[in-house]
Amino acid sequence: MKRRTGTRGEGVRSRLQRAGALAALLGVGGSGSALLLGEPAVAAPLDVVLAADAVLAAPVPTDAVPTDAAPPAVRTLDELLAAFRKSPGLSARFEEHKYIALLEAPLKSSGALYFLPEDKLARHVERPKRSVILLAGKRLRIADETGTRDLDLAKMPALAALVQSFSQVLRGDRAALDEHYRVEFRPATPPAPAKGEGRTGSWRLRLTPKNAPLSEMVSSIELTGSGPTIATLTVSEPNGDRSVTHFSDVDTERRFSEAERKRLFSLPR
């Protein structure tokens, strides 16, 4: 991959290092996340928790049957968060593009995402390299081709706020979001559907950090969706870099068996 020439002082390596933390959970970040984990945690942007290169990704179980019924329109933020709180669990496929100014083409990654309301989020990256990233409360665990890492987010409050934001949205935890972000919500508008498109409009949820050092890691987190189904996640950084994640095969009524919980929410041995 070619580098662009320019006078910006930040090199490609440092950009990649910063791109590894919250993405692991939020679906942002690319193959540079493995580099990032060796750096000070405060340097990691929203794409560090769910997008690292990983070892042994698990495919989406075939027993998850999506529904064709259109989700109900969401008119208020309270309605959206209430819908998230009713979900017994979530599974989805994701494809993420990480745009870095010094690179001519985006870094791409794809895989599967799993969520349990008891504050457990797992991101299994399948391409370009396998990795597994798990968030359970304030514990972040990562496994990839270089080994495993275990981070105590209780010792890194700013990074914890960043990493946990996606999980807080899925839990419908308004108080936790309000603590660190300005929350803006735009309700779905009546659709003018084209052939093959959904029958409801898309809502938009934007999280803007209130204070540093969180605001130095990420400038905004924006999600779109229909009903309780998230369609996209965009994480923008102060330096202009951004990560865009598209979700598909989203099942917001996912119920995991005990065997699936052990397999999907643990690191490969």
CATH of the domain at 24: 2.50.20.10
- Predicted structure pTM score: 0.75
Are 234 and 244 in contact by the 8 Å Cβ rule? The answer is yes
**Number of domains the chain contains:** 1
Given 3-state DSSP classes, what are the helix, strand and coil percentages for the chain, each rounded to the nearest 5?
A: 25, 35, 45
Asked whether residue 151 is domain-assigned, the answer is: yes
Domain that holds residue 91: 12-63+71-264
Cis peptide before 128 (omega within 30 of 0): yes
Asked whether residue 2 is domain-assigned, the answer is: no
pLDDT tops 80 at residue 252: yes
Dump pLDDT digits (tens) for 87-103: 999 999 999 999 999 99
Average pLDDT, the chain: 78
pLDDT tops 70 at residue 127: yes
**Per-residue confidence (pLDDT) for residue 74, from 0 to 100:** 82
Asked whether residue 7 is domain-assigned, the answer is: no
Asked whether residue 3 is domain-assigned, the answer is: no
Centroid of chain to Cα 266: 18
- Measured distance CA(68)–CA(71) in Å, rounded: 9
Asked whether residue 6 is domain-assigned, the answer is: no
Q: Tell me the residue type at 249.
A: D
Dump pLDDT digits (tens) for 8-53: 444 544 444 444 444 544 443 333 333 233 333 333 433 333 333 3
**Per-residue confidence (pLDDT) for residue 67, from 0 to 100:** 46
* Higher pLDDT among residues 263 and 25, named by residue: 263
CB proximity list for 40: less than 8 A, separation 6 or greater? none
Asked whether residue 1 is domain-assigned, the answer is: no
Dump pLDDT digits (tens) for 188-229: 776 555 544 444 568 999 999 999 999 999 999 999 999 999
